[in-house]
Structure formats: C-alpha cells, structure tokens
C-alpha cells in the first residue's frame, strides 16, 4: 500500500513537471534498490523504494564544493521506513557528478531489520551522469548505522539507482 502511494506521487510530480526547467529549480529524485545488500544470513535483504528533494534556495558554493540540503525517505519490502534530512556536496567532472552526502534520520523497523535505534545516520556516495537536460541517472551506495548510540549497531549497506529531475 505504501509503495503504491509513493509511486503515484512520483508519477504525478514527473508528469506535471515542465520539459525544460531552470537550472536552479527544485530537484526531485526517485530511487529504488537493495536494502542490506551485504546481509550474511539473507533474511534482511530486501528491496527499497524512495523519494528525495533538494532545495536550491539553500544552495551554497564554498571553497569545499557546492552544497545543498537533502531531504527524503524510503520504505523497504519488509515495511521498514527511514526518513532523513542532511547535506549533499556536488563535484562535477563534465557530465559526471560525484555526490557524497550525510543525513541523520528516523528509522522504523516495521517487519524488517532492527538497527538498534530510531536515530540512524546515513552516509552515501552517489555517482551521477547527466542524461537529458535537467535530468540525471545515478548509482549510489549508502551505509546506515547509529554510531553505537543504540542498544546494538548492526548497520546496513544499501545500493540504489536514482533518477533525478530539476523542475
């Protein structure tokens, strides 16, 4: 039920967005992938689906690179959910973009993996390629853990394919 709702939201946003957009427009991303990709027992590995937003109004170009706030969330095939907000840097090599990010967030285990705490931290490295004007296709690898602040800290490694569009 949750996945269908997120798919409908995604389709509405991308269908109604203009074909040609301003470079400084809002960026919405849709991603899907594998949650707990290195699960040794095999019982927690599942799919994930999510949406992410980057706000251009808070964009900062510093001597360390370009930074934007990032907010998003995903749900897994086991009804786990993670909602986060943090910061993403952007480094460009022509059409190729390197996008490291860090985001604390709220994790609800649902029927899935117990990560030990509701407060979890996501660090991610994303490599993206401009495919159309104002659109990007990316691969990312992320790690989520609670930094040993919880009762346990098994962590999870995830991989995603992301489609992003500025509008």
pLDDT for 95 equals 85
| pTM recorded for the entire structure | 0.82
Buried b (16+ CB within 10 A) or exposed e, 126-147: bebeeeeebbbebebebebbbe
Class of domain 2-18+28-166: mainly beta
CA separation for the pair 76, 44 (Å, rounded): 10
pLDDT for 82 equals 97
Q: Which parts of the chain register pLDDT below 70?
A: 1-24, 42
pLDDT for 4 equals 54
CA separation for the pair 37, 33 (Å, rounded): 9
């Amino acid at each position: 039920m949750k996945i269908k709702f997120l798919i409908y939201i995604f389709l509405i946003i991308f269908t109604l967005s203009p074909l040609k957009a301003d470079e400084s427009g809002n960026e919405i991303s849709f991603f899907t992938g594998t949650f707990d990709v290195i699960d040794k027992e095999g019982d927690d590995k599942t799919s994930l689906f999510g949406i992410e937003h980057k706000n251009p109004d808070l964009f900062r170009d510093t001597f360390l690179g370009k930074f934007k706030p990032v907010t998003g969330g995903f749900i897994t095939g086991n009804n786990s959910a993670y909602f986060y907000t943090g910061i993403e840097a952007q480094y460009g090599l022509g059409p190729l973009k390197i996008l490291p990010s860090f985001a604390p967030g709220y994790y609800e285990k649902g029927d899935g993996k117990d990560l030990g705490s509701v407060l979890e931290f996501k660090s991610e490295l994303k490599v993206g390629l401009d495919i159309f004007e104002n659109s990007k296709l990316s691969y990312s690898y992320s790690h989520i853990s609670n930094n040993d602040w919880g009762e346990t800290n098994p962590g999870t490694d995830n991989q995603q394919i992301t489609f992003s569009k500025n509008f």
